[in-house]
Chains A and B, each alone.
Chain A
Amino acid sequence: MPAVSKGDGMRGLAVFISDIRNCKSKEAEIKRINKELANIRSKFKGDKALDGYSKKKYVCKLLFIFLLGHDIDFGHMEAVNLLSSNKYTEKQIGYLFISVLVNSNSELIRLINNAIKNDLSSRNPTFMCLALHCIANVGSREMAEAFASEIPRILVAGDTMDSVKQSAALCLLRLYKTSPDLVLMGEWTSRVVHLLNDQHMGVVTAAISLITCLSQKNPDEFKTCVSLAVSRLSRIVSSASTDLQDYTYYFVPAPWLSCKLLRLLQCYPPPEDGAVKGRLVECLETILNKAQEPPKSKKVQHSNAKNAILFEAISLIIHYDSEPNLLVRACNQLGQFLQHRETNLRYLALESMCTLASSEFSHEAVKTHIETVINALKTERDVSVRQRAADLLYAMCDRSNAKQIVAEMLSYLETADYSIREEMVLKVAILAEKYAVDYSWYVDTILNLIRIAGDYVSEEVWYRVIQIVINRDDVQGYAAKTVFEALQAPACHENMVKVGGYILGEFGNLIAGDPRSSPLVQFNLLHSKFHLCSVPTRALLLSAYIKFINLFPETKATIQEVLRCDSQIRNSDVELQQRAVEYLKLSSIASTDVLATVLEEMPPFPERESSILAKLKKKKGPGAVSVPDLEDGKREGGELNGGGERGPDSAAMSASNASTPSPSADLLGMRSAAPMSAAPTSAGSLLVDVFSEAGPAAPSAAVNDDGFLRFVCKNNGVLFENQLLQIGIKSEYRQNLGRMYLFYGNKTSVQFASFTTTVSCPGELQSHILSILRLNVQTKPVEPVVEGGAQIQQVLNIECLTDFSEAPLLNIKFRYGGALQNLSLKLPVTINKFFQPTEMTSHDFFQRWKQLSQPQQEAQKIFKANHSMDTEVLKAKLLGLGTALLDDVDPNPENYVCAGVIQTKGQQVGCLLRLEPNGQAQMYRLTLRCSKDSVSLRLCELLAQQF
C-alpha cells in the first residue's frame, strides 16, 4: 500500500500511482496508463453525471499522467467545471489542472476567466487566493486583458486580507512581465510604493518584487521607493535576531526581504538626500561588519542567508561605484572568501570580484589577490569555479601584470577543460594584443596558443596576428623568423601552417640572408606540410608560392615545377586547380615589373575593432568583456573616440566575417577573379576593404552628403566616419556669426602624415560667407601629423553676409600607410543656423502671414513622412531649427507653427512656417512664407528632408 496520503486522500489515485510504480517496464506502464485513460474517458462520456469527488479524482489522475510526460488531450472541460464547485478541495484541483495544462483554447479561456471572476468577487479570501494563484501561474495575455485593471484595486484596497494582497502583488508582477502594456499602475503608484511600509512582513516581501520590476521600467515614477526602502532596510539590519519572529531565518532577520531591498536600490543612483544616503551607508557598513562577527550558528543556512545579504550589499556598493572606502572593504571581504572552505563562497567571490575589478577605486585592491586567483585556476576541482577564476584574471589584467597572467592562462590551457578552451584562447589573444608592449611577445604568445590549443584557435585569432604583423614593420622580421622555427616541429598544427605560409610569403625575404633559412629552404619547409593540409590551407600555400616567385626569382623554376605537376594543375578541386593554372601562367608571361606590382606586399589593414573581441562579446554578452576596456576609456577619453559606439559595429564585423569565406586565407584577394580587378564585389571581405577604403587605387573623393542633412536641426555630433577617420562637430551661432569646432580622430594605430584640410565655398557662396578661416592658431592648429589614436581640433569662424543655399566644402587630404587619402565633405552650415526665434501671438502671426501673401514669397511641399511622427520628436526638431515654436496659434492643435528672423550682415529676413502632419496618411504639408523668396525656397527644400 502507498504511503499515507494527507488531507482527504483519494484512494483511487493512490492505487493508480502505486500500480504505475509497480510496472516492471516502460511498456507495462504505457499499457496501464492507456487502460486508465480509457476508463476515465468512458466515465466522462458516460450517461451518469459524475459527482464532484469522482470528477476531482479523475482530473487528478489525468494530471498525474501528464506530469509523467504523457500527452493529455481531454478532461479540460471537467477541470473547468470543478472551478465553479463550491467545495474548496474540488476547486483547488481544478485550478491546479488548469495551471499546469492550460492551452489556448479560446472557448475554454473564456470559461476559466468567468470562474476566476466569480472567485475574485466572492470576498472569500481562500477562493480569491486560489484564483490569483491561477492567474499568476498561467499569466496569459487573455487573463491580463481580463484582470489587469481589477487586481491593482484588490492590492491596495484597505479591507483586503494580507494573504490576498500578497497573491495580488505577485499576480500583477507576472501579468506585467507578460503584458506590460496592459498593466497600468497610474493612480495606484504611490499606494503600491507605500506597501514597503506595510506592517505585515509577508506583504512587504511580496510587494517588493513587484515594485522592483516596475522601478526598473519606470524609475522616475517609483523613485519615492528609495527612501522607504532605505528606512525599511535600516530597521531590519539593526534589529536583533529575534525581533522579527518567524521572519528570522536561522538567526538572520528577514534575509529574503533584505536582499530584495538591496536589489531594489540597485535600480537607482545613490540617494541625493544626505540623510537618506547617510543611513544607507550606515546599513552597508553594518552588513560588512556583521560578516566579521563570529557566526551565531554553525548551520550552513545561517551563513548562506547572512552572505546572501552581504553579496547583495556588495553588488549595491559596486553599482554606486562612488564610495572608495566601501569598495575597498568589499574587496577585502571577497578576498577572505577566495580562500574559504565552502566552494560556493569561493565561486561567488570570484564572480563578484570580476565586477569590482572594473571600478577605478578597487581595481588595484583586486590585483593584490592575483596569486590566490592563479592558484584557484590551477587547483580548483570544479570546472565552473576555474572558469570564474579565468574570468577574474581576464578582468584584473592590465599592463602591469599582463605578462604574468597571459603566461598562467597559457599554461592552464594545456590541461584546460574542453568546454572552456575556445573562450580561453580568445581571452589570451585579446590580452596579448591589448597589452603588447613589444610585438615580439605578442607573436610568441599567439604562436604558443596555436601550438598548445591549435584546434581551438578560431579564424579570427590567426587572421588577427597576420593583420598585426602586416601593419607593424618592426615585428615582421621577428615574425618570419619565429614562424620559420615553429614550422620545423615535426607535427605542427594546420593553423600554424596557415600563419607560417602567409607570413613567409610576405616577409620571407627578411630572413633569407641566413643560409639556414634561404629561399629554397623556406619553400621546402612549407611544401613538406602541403600534402597533409586541407584544401583551404593548400590554396593559401599556393598563393604563398607565387609570392615567393616574386620575392626570390631563384625559386621560380622549382615552384613552376610544383605548379605544373598533375596533382596541382589537374587537381580535382576547382579552386586549387584554378590557382595552379593562373599562378603558373602569371609567373611565365608577366614581366618582372607587372609581377612585382601584382604581388606587392600587402598594404596595412584598416584598423578597426579587433575581430576577436567582437567574437568574445558575441559569445559572452557585452558585459563579460567590458572590463579591460577600462584603461582604454581613460586613455582615449574624448567623446569622439569613446568605446560606447562600438556595439553595432562589432556585430556587423562578426556578421561579415561569418558570411565571407575566409577572407585572408586568400593571400592575394583573388579567389576566381584576377588580382588586378580587385573591385569591391563582396562587401565583407577584408582584402577588398583594403583596396576600396585604404588602397592606393582610391584617391578620388566623392562629396559625402549623408552627414550633412542630419545637422539641419542640430549643431553637434559625428559628421563623418569611416574605418580610418572620424570627424566630429560642435558649433554655435549668434546673430549672423557662427563658430564651428571640427574634431579629427585617427581611429587607427598608424599615424596620418601630411594631414591638411581646406574649406572652400562653391560658386555663389564665395561672396556670401567670407570668412571661413582655415586653421585657427588660437586653439589647436592642425598639425600635419595625426598620431594613431589621437584627435586634433580645428576652429572655423563663420559670418553670414547674405542668404545662401550652398554649403561650404571641407576637403581633407592625408597619407595613411603610404596611400593618399582624399575626402570631401559638405560642412553643415545652413541658412537656418542664423535664425533668431520670434515669439508672437496668434493675432500677430496671422497678420504677418497675410502680409507675406505674394506667390513667390510662399514655398510649399507635400511629402511622405520619413521619420517618426511622434509629437515630441517633431517639437525637438522644430526647436533645433532655431525658430520659436508657437503654441495656441494654429486653430488645429495638430499643426505646428514657427516664427523667426534670419540674421545676415546686410539684412534680416522674417520667416513663418507651418507644418501640418497627417498621421493617417503618414504625410506632411509644409508651408513657408519669408520676406525673401530665395529663403522660402531654400528652407522648404532643407526641411522637407527632415521629417
Chain B
Amino acid sequence: MQFMLLFSRQGKLRLQKWYVPLSDKEKKKITRELVQTVLARKPKMCSFLEWRDLKVVYKRYASLYFCCAIEHQDNELITLEIIHRYVELLDKYFGSVCELDIIFNFEKAYFILDEFLLGGEPQETSKKTVLKAIEQADLLQEDKTKDAECPRSILEEIGLT
C-alpha cells in the first residue's frame, strides 16, 4: 500500500498515512486530487478506480471516506477488508466510533493504525492482539499520569515551575 487517507464528506482530511517518501507539496496535490475524485463518485459505483498508475480502493463509513492507494499487483478486495478491519479496531477502541473521536484523538488513530499496518503491509490482523497492545499502552499512560499530574498542577499553581 502506498498511502491511506481518511476524509470527511466535506473534504476535510482527518488522517493521512504515507508509506512512500513524497514531498509535502506532492502529498497536498495528491490529497486534493483524490478527495475530489472520490467525492464526485456516486454511491452505487464500484469501490475501485485506476488513478495515475495506482489502484485506489475506497469505502465510505457514515460521514468518513477511507481511501487506500495500492500497487498494480495488489488485491483490491483484501484492501477493502483492511479498511474494514481498521474501522472495526477504531470502533471497538472508542466504543462506536464517530468522526469526532478521530478528530479529538487523532494520535490514537495513528497508534492503532501503526499496530495494524506497518510500512503499508498488515503487521497484525488479529483484532484482539492489536487492541491488547493499545490498551496496555493506555494503562502505562494512566499510571504515569496519575503520578505525574497531581504534583505538577499544584506546583504550577503556586508558580514554582
A contact residues vs B (CB 8 Å cutoff): 2-3, 5-8, 14, 17-18, 21, 48-49, 51-53, 60, 63-64, 67, 69, 87-89, 92-93, 96, 100, 126, 129, 132-133, 136-137, 139-140, 163, 166-167, 170-171, 173-174, 177-178, 201-202, 205-206, 209, 246-247, 249, 254-257, 259, 263, 266, 301, 304-305, 307-308, 311-312, 343-344, 346-348, 381-382, 384-385, 387, 621
Contacts of B77 in A (CB 8 A): 304-305, 307-308, 311, 344, 348
Taking the closest CB of chain B, its distance from the CB of A162, in whole angstroms, is: 9
Given contacts A7-B142, A17-B104, A343-B44, contact A202 B81 (CB under 8 A): no
User: Contact partner of A133 among B28, B106, B118, CB < 8 A?
Assistant: B118
B21 with A178: CB separation less than 8 A:
yes
27 contacts between A and B (CB under 8 A): A2-B100, A88-B140, A89-B137, A96-B107, A133-B114, A136-B118, A163-B133, A167-B123, A170-B119, A170-B123, A173-B121, A202-B125, A205-B122, A206-B122, A249-B125, A256-B122, A257-B125, A263-B75, A266-B73, A305-B81, A312-B75, A343-B45, A343-B46, A344-B77, A384-B45, A384-B49, A384-B50
Closest to A86 in B: B144
User: Contact partner of B125 among A93, A137, A247, CB < 8 A?
Assistant: A247
A60 with B81: CB separation less than 8 A:
no
Contacts of B85 in A (CB 8 A): 249
A5 with B105: CB separation less than 8 A:
yes
A206 with B124: CB separation less than 8 A:
yes
Contacts of B63 in A (CB 8 A): none
Taking the closest CB of chain B, its distance from the CB of A168, in whole angstroms, is: 10
Contacts of B110 in A (CB 8 A): 96, 100
Taking the closest CB of chain A, its distance from the CB of B98, in whole angstroms, is: 8
Contacts of B30 in A (CB 8 A): none
Q: Is the interface of B mostly helix, strand, loop or mixed?
A: helix
Complex: A384 Cα to B106 Cα, angstroms = 33
Contacts of A173 in B (CB 8 A): 119, 121
Complex: A255 Cα to B81 Cα, angstroms = 9
Q: Using an 8 Å CB-CB cutoff, how does the interface string of B4-31 with A read, 1 for contact, 0 for none?
A: 0000000001011001010000001000
B44 with A206: CB separation less than 8 A:
no
A174 with B140: CB separation less than 8 A:
no
Taking the closest CB of chain B, its distance from the CB of A178, in whole angstroms, is: 7
Closest 7 CB pairs of A and B: A308-B77, A174-B119, A209-B121, A308-B78, A170-B118, A343-B46, A246-B126
A381 with B84: CB separation less than 8 A:
no
Contacts of A7 in B (CB 8 A): 105, 108, 137-138, 141-142
A202 with B126: CB separation less than 8 A:
yes
- Contacts of B61-90 to chain A: CB distance below 8 A: 73, 75-78, 80-82, 84-85
A171 with B105: CB separation less than 8 A:
no
CB of B103 within 8 Å of the partner chain: yes
Closest to A133 in B: B114
Q: What number of residue pairs across chains A and B have CB atoms under 8 A from each other?
A: 196
Contacts of A92 in B (CB 8 A): 107, 111, 137
B104 with A14: CB separation less than 8 A:
yes
Contacts of B45 in A (CB 8 A): 343, 381-382, 384
A344 with B118: CB separation less than 8 A:
no
Complex: A140 Cα to B15 Cα, angstroms = 22
B152 with A53: CB separation less than 8 A:
yes
User: Contact partner of A209 among B46, B78, B122, B149, CB < 8 A?
Assistant: B122
The listed residue with most A CB atoms (<10 A of its CB), out of B45, B121, B142, is: B121
Contacts of A246 in B (CB 8 A): 126-129
Taking the closest CB of chain B, its distance from the CB of A17, in whole angstroms, is: 6
User: Contact partner of B78 among A177, A305, A346, CB < 8 A?
Assistant: A305
B133 with A136: CB separation less than 8 A:
no
Size category of the B interface is 35 or more
B107 with A60: CB separation less than 8 A:
yes
Contacts of A249 in B (CB 8 A): 81, 85, 125
Q: With contacts A7-B142, A202-B124 known, what are 17 further pairs, Cβ within 8 A?
A: A3-B98, A7-B108, A8-B145, A51-B161, A126-B136, A163-B133, A171-B118, A171-B119, A178-B21, A206-B118, A206-B122, A209-B119, A247-B126, A254-B125, A255-B78, A259-B75, A344-B80
Q: Is the interface of A mostly helix, strand, loop or mixed?
A: helix
Closest to A103 in B: B24
A96 with B49: CB separation less than 8 A:
no
B107 with A93: CB separation less than 8 A:
yes
CB of B53 within 8 Å of the partner chain: yes
B contact residues vs A (CB 8 Å cutoff): 13, 15-16, 19, 21, 28, 42, 44-50, 53, 73, 75-78, 80-82, 84-85, 93-94, 98, 100-101, 103-108, 110-111, 114, 118-129, 133, 136-138, 140-142, 144-145, 148-149, 152, 161
Closest to A134 in B: B114
A89 with B124: CB separation less than 8 A:
no
Complex: A278 Cα to B42 Cα, angstroms = 46
Given contacts A249-B85, A344-B76, contact A51 B152 (CB under 8 A): yes
Complex: A72 Cα to B30 Cα, angstroms = 20
Contacts of A100 in B (CB 8 A): 110
Taking the closest CB of chain A, its distance from the CB of B138, in whole angstroms, is: 4
A2 with B104: CB separation less than 8 A:
yes
Taking the closest CB of chain A, its distance from the CB of B129, in whole angstroms, is: 6
Taking the closest CB of chain B, its distance from the CB of A311, in whole angstroms, is: 6
Complex: A87 Cα to B53 Cα, angstroms = 43
Contacts of A21 in B (CB 8 A): 103
User: Contact partner of B94 among A6, A69, A93, A311, CB < 8 A?
Assistant: A6
Closest to A49 in B: B161
Taking the closest CB of chain B, its distance from the CB of A610, in whole angstroms, is: 24
Complex: A93 Cα to B114 Cα, angstroms = 13
Taking the closest CB of chain A, its distance from the CB of B14, in whole angstroms, is: 9
User: Contact partner of B13 among A69, A163, A256, A621, CB < 8 A?
Assistant: A69
Contacts of B19 in A (CB 8 A): 174
B44 with A308: CB separation less than 8 A:
no
A53 with B137: CB separation less than 8 A:
no
Contacts of A209 in B (CB 8 A): 119, 121-122
Contacts of A53 in B (CB 8 A): 145, 148-149, 152
Taking the closest CB of chain A, its distance from the CB of B114, in whole angstroms, is: 5
Taking the closest CB of chain A, its distance from the CB of B24, in whole angstroms, is: 8
Taking the closest CB of chain A, its distance from the CB of B4, in whole angstroms, is: 13
Contacts of A201 in B (CB 8 A): 125-126
Given contacts A96-B111, A249-B85, contact A139 B119 (CB under 8 A): yes
Taking the closest CB of chain B, its distance from the CB of A420, in whole angstroms, is: 11
Taking the closest CB of chain A, its distance from the CB of B21, in whole angstroms, is: 7
Contacts of A304 in B (CB 8 A): 77-78, 80-81, 84
Complex: A384 Cα to B46 Cα, angstroms = 8
Contacts of A88 in B (CB 8 A): 137, 140-141, 144
Given contacts A343-B44, A384-B49, contact A167 B104 (CB under 8 A): no
Contacts of B82 in A (CB 8 A): 256
A205 with B124: CB separation less than 8 A:
yes
Complex: A178 Cα to B20 Cα, angstroms = 9
Contacts of B93 in A (CB 8 A): 6
Taking the closest CB of chain A, its distance from the CB of B126, in whole angstroms, is: 4
Given contacts A8-B141, A53-B149, A263-B75, contact A163 B81 (CB under 8 A): no
B144 with A6: CB separation less than 8 A:
no
Contacts of A312 in B (CB 8 A): 75, 78
Complex: A92 Cα to B141 Cα, angstroms = 10
Complex: A344 Cα to B41 Cα, angstroms = 14
Complex: A348 Cα to B141 Cα, angstroms = 45
Complex: A398 Cα to B75 Cα, angstroms = 29
Contacts of A49 in B (CB 8 A): 161
Contacts of A69 in B (CB 8 A): 13, 28
B46 with A8: CB separation less than 8 A:
no
A308 with B140: CB separation less than 8 A:
no
The listed residue with most B CB atoms (<10 A of its CB), out of A52, A140, A206, A263, is: A206
Given contacts A3-B101, A89-B140, A139-B21, contact A344 B46 (CB under 8 A): yes
Complex: A166 Cα to B119 Cα, angstroms = 11
Closest to A305 in B: B81
B103 with A17: CB separation less than 8 A:
yes
The listed residue with most A CB atoms (<10 A of its CB), out of B42, B77, B129, B138, is: B77
